[in-house]
Amino acid sequence: MNNSLGDEETVEALARLVREWGRERVRPFVQEREAAGEFPRDLYAEMGELGFFGCVFDESLGGTDVGFAALAAVAEQLAWVYPPLSAAMNLQAATVPLTIANWGDPDVIARWVPDLVAGRALGCNAMTEPAGGSDFLGSMRTRAVRDGSDWVLNGSKMWITNANVADVAVVYARTDPAAGHRGVTAFVVPTHTSGFEATRVPCRGLGKLMPTNSVSLVDVRVPAGNVLGEEGQGFVVAMNALDYGRLSVAARSVGLAQACLDAALEYADQREAFGEKIGSFQMVKKQLADMTCEVAAARGLVRAAAAKYDTGDLATRESSIAKYFAGEVCNRAAQATADIFGGAAFSDDLPIGLYLNYAKLWQTGEGSANIQALLIADDALGWRRMDRHRTVLRPRTTVG
């Protein structure tokens, strides 16, 4: 690990860089980009070039190796800049490339991870299916059948972010129908492979810069070397991916909650009613105070989870707690901000509606709030430990 791993000055400097970049390159042009409806691939390339995606990757993979605290800081600031853009922190910096780096063969790692980290290639994570939700692995219908030295995949996926623009996908498919969770395998699938087709699903409330898609897999053929981990190990690979994804989503929820708080504070200090600034009203003060305290508490949980990852340990429990609490805080902050803005919250010139929608979305992504609550309670009771899969996880792989 780099000597700057977890260093507070390094993390804060990177956070400032992200916020300044966002103020200059994103916020002034976001309405124009939304109106155009074109995926901002140029911004992904810029983020990769600036090192936003490489925090937890070795330099041999094009990373900066400054750690999970830095990753969380970047994710938080990108969500503050503009929520749709922060999806990159899962797909380019955590869930997709880190899963490939942890579980892939050296050739697959070398082929995809440096390009994903640099923003030269785009990734997507194809877990969820039309008939599945939180039990996406147990109810999985996508099949993979061995054919000589290849696997042939057939099935469909749903709600797959960036699939229509991605160059590579991590796809989960059932390889042994009789083996339950142990019958799922993870594959690296280039999206140009014959039979892979992504179709955009319109979601007006999420804007146009973070496309979600359905994915059809018809006789998609991939070599056996593209298996992540081993055959039947897809459940553990997925749980490992979700661990890192939850940290990213938690940090993004904190960034969005901070954006809500900042907007609410500015509006409460300017808007007047009954001859006074509305920030002087006790009910508004209470909302602002609650938001301030809760955002700080959620940020503390995210940083604690990131710090544990930076020791080289897993933080399954910590990232789940951070994700659950930050999601709740973000939703309350978005709703309180909408209350403070009143009718102005409905204006297309303001991002309040977008904030509300993304706050709710991130309560669901990487494990719904209800599922997180069950997992946290079972772990607290000692009935089902969240870290029970740690013994089969592989260390991060480097190339070179």
Active site residue 46: no
Q: What is the 3-state secondary structure (H, E, C) of the chain?
A: CCCCCCCHHHHHHHHHHHHHHHHHHCHHHHHHHHHHCCCCHHHHHHHHHCCCCCCCCCHHHCCCCCCHHHHHHHHHHHHHHCHHHHHHHHHCCCHHHHHHHHHCCHHHHHHHHHHHHHCCCCEEEECCCCCCCCCCCCCCCCEEEEECCEEEEEEEEEEEECCCCCCEEEEEEECCHHHHHHHEEEEEEECCCCCEEEEEECCHHHCCCCCEEEEEEEEEEEEHHHEECCCCCHHHHHHHHHHHHHHHHHHHHHHHHHHHHHHHHHHHCCCEECCEEHHHCHHHHHHHHHHHHHHHHHHHHHHHHHHHHCCCCCCHHHHHHHHHHHHHHHHHHHHHHHHHHHHHHHCCCCCHHHHHHHHHHHHHCCCCHHHHHHHHHHHHHCCCCCCCCHHHCCCCCCCC
Q: Which of 76, 294, 318, 366 is catalytic?
A: 366
- Active-site residues: which are they? 366
